[in-house]
Amino acid sequence: MKILDAKISEIKFQNATDFFEQFAQDYYTALFTGDEVTSEYSLIGNKPHTIIRFANNNFTIKTANKQFTVETEHSKCNNNDDFWKFTNEILGKTNFHEFAFPVSICGGMGYLSYEMLHQIEKIAKTTNANYQMPDFEWIFYNQYFVFDNFAKKAYEINLQYKNESNISKNEKVADNFKVEKLLPECNAKEYMQKVERIRDYIFAGDVYEVNLSQQICGDFMGNAFQLFKKLFAVNSAPFSTFLNFGENKIVCNSPELFLKCNNRKVETRPIKGTIQRGETPKEDEENKIKLLNSRKDEAELFMIIDLLRNDIGKVCEYGSVKVMEAKRLERFKNVHHLVGVIEGKLRENISYFDLLRATFPGGSITGCPKIRCMEIIDELETYARNLYTGTIFIMNQTSLISNIVIRSAIIQSGKIYLNSGGAITIDSNPKSEFEETEHKLKNIIEAVMGS
């Protein structure tokens, strides 16, 4: 993936989502965007050069002329080191960082599925996978578009790689979309039984909190990008993405940053604590104060901040990890969130894949302590999370930005898959937890189906 030349042209600044619509049906295109007030950059990847996948413990690489299993000692990943060794090898062959802005913030665009935890920890997988997708995909593009939302400037970047490749494929779809028959995995009794089971584990001293979720499945017809546009119009979350990755269309309306890194400075911003915006200014202020004064939400946030301090501390310079803000209130169109801000400086010999290995999955969507929580999640959740609560990212050797995949949908083979859940603590009331999940499901269903 060595770049020989980069041609940069300044183009007219406009909304990145509107601009992307012309590419939305093209094969393996990607959009990373957010609110133009809070998200500094939006990026588009177009005309894929190389597609790297990891599925069933095998790497495959696809270019315009061929697709092949990687013939190295890592082609069959038999232990938890092989995946990370091979991805580091690929990262080491990239040279985006040798070019000036805006090329320097571009890179491979892709995702790590939540199921990649099995390439980090020795946790048995017992959940059922009711749909299949790779655990990891990483795409390098011939063409990027960068939108500087603060400076109101935009750029088209056309790259010349050492080896030419342009994977081209187009599909025609309807102008709109339709969703029917959305059904959750659990009824009230089943979900409350799972909450009680987690509270038993907490009383036994196994864990402090566990993030429990359930899957919702329905029928999907039509244009997945139109669903993204609708969700983004309702809530232009700062870490939103749309990935048209072949048979998988990935719609993500995430408010949560996982990792942001530039020249070895690391930042992570876990979210714990959510409340609806009020319908009037008075009600909105009351809801904000209620969230800020919630001891339960504060305790959840502080636990996850401590977990993430420990995670990034594994790979950061001694003494560099600091909590910059222990409890920040962030406002979105529909909700208020409590957010923590933690920073550190990576050690010199640590790559961004090493950082991901040390911190993945994000503690805000597992619970604390992380390993035991992931075992309990696997025990209690019926279906594999797949990409839900994984991360979507853009990476080169000196720049990384990644989100937590929440408020998301996977569309595949005429079906749509969503998840909803929340943190269970010792103070959790099973009935209230189910009602909170119902409320979240109601928001999802109204956004997706319009009623």
Task: Quick: pLDDT tens for 185-228.
Answer: 889 999 999 999 999 999 999 999 999 999 999 999 999 999 99
Please determine, for residue 342, whether its predicted confidence score (pLDDT) is greater than 90: yes
pLDDT band at 77 (very low <50, low <70, confident <90, very high): low
Residue 74 pLDDT level (bands cut at 50, 70, 90): very low
Share of the chain above pLDDT 70, in %: 97
pLDDT classification of 75: cutoffs 50, 70, 90: very low
Q: Are 269 and 341 in contact (CB under 8 A)?
A: yes
The average pLDDT across 297-303 equals 87
Instruction: Identify the H or E element spanning 266.
Output: strand 265-268
Structural domains of the chain ordered from first start:
3-264+348-449 (3.60.120.10)
Residue 423 has pLDDT above 80, yes or no: yes
Residue 68 has pLDDT above 60, yes or no: yes
Res. 366: pLDDT tops 50: yes
Q: What's the pTM value of the predicted model, to 2 decimals?
A: 0.93
Q: Of 375, 374, 380, 386, which Cα lies nearest the Cα of 412?
A: 386
CB–CB of 155/9 below 8 Å?
yes
pLDDT for residue 47 is more than 90 = yes
Residue 66 is predicted with a pLDDT of 82
Would you place residue 386 in the very low, low, confident or very high pLDDT band (cuts 50, 70, 90)? Answer: very high
pLDDT higher than 50, residue 4: yes
Tell whether the torsion through CA atoms of 75, 81, 83 and 88 is positive or negative: negative
Rounded to an integer, the average pLDDT of 158-172 is: 88
pLDDT at residue number 80: 63
Q: Would you state the pLDDT for residue 175? A: 84
Strand partners, 218: 416
* Most confident option among 53-57, 391-395, 429-433: 391-395
Q: What is the pLDDT of residue 442?
A: 74
Supply 92's token pair: 């080491």
More confident residue, 178 or 276: 178
Question: Alpha helix locations (H) across 36-143?
Answer: 82-92
The crossing angle, in degrees rounded to 10, of helices 430-449 and 224-234 is 120
| Catalytic residue IDs | 256, 272
Q: Is the pLDDT of residue 258 over 50?
A: yes
Whether the pLDDT of residue 291 is over 80: the answer is: yes
Taking 60 as the threshold, does the pLDDT of residue 431 lie above it? yes
User: Is 328 in contact with 339 (CB distance < 8 Å)?
Assistant: yes
Mean pLDDT, the chain, as a whole number? 91
pLDDT at 278: 84
Is the pLDDT score of 79 beyond 70? no
Nearest CA to 246 out of 226, 228, 224 is that of 224
33, 56, 231, 233, 339 from 236: Cα distances, Å: 9, 35, 8, 6, 18
Q: Is residue 347 within 8 Å of 316, Cβ to Cβ?
A: yes
- The pLDDT of residue 421 is 85
**More confident of the two residues 380 and 445:** 380
- Identify the pLDDT of residue 59: 92
Closest CA to 268 of 384, 377, 92, 393: 393
Task: Say if residue 167's pLDDT is above 50.
Answer: yes
Structure token pair of residue 26 = 């093209």
- Interval 160-164 mean pLDDT: 92
What region, left, alpha or beta, does residue 319 occupy, with left being phi > 0 and alpha being psi -120 to 50 degrees?
left
How far out from the chain centre does Cα 174 lie?
27
Look at residue 82 and give its three-state secondary structure: helix
The tens digit of pLDDT for each residue in 83-131 reads: 899 999 999 999 999 999 999 999 999 999 999 998 898 888 888 888 9
Q: Which residues have C-beta within 8 Å of that of residue 345, sequence separation ≥ 6?
A: 264, 265, 266, 316, 317, 320
**Could you give the C-alpha distances from 144 to 28, 30, 105, 108, 370, in angstroms and in order?**
13, 10, 10, 11, 36
pLDDT higher than threshold 80 for residue 172: no
Reply yes or no on whether the pLDDT at 321 is more than 50.
yes
Average of per-residue pLDDT across 407-428: 92
Q: pLDDT value at position 78?
A: 54
pLDDT surpasses 90 at 56:
no
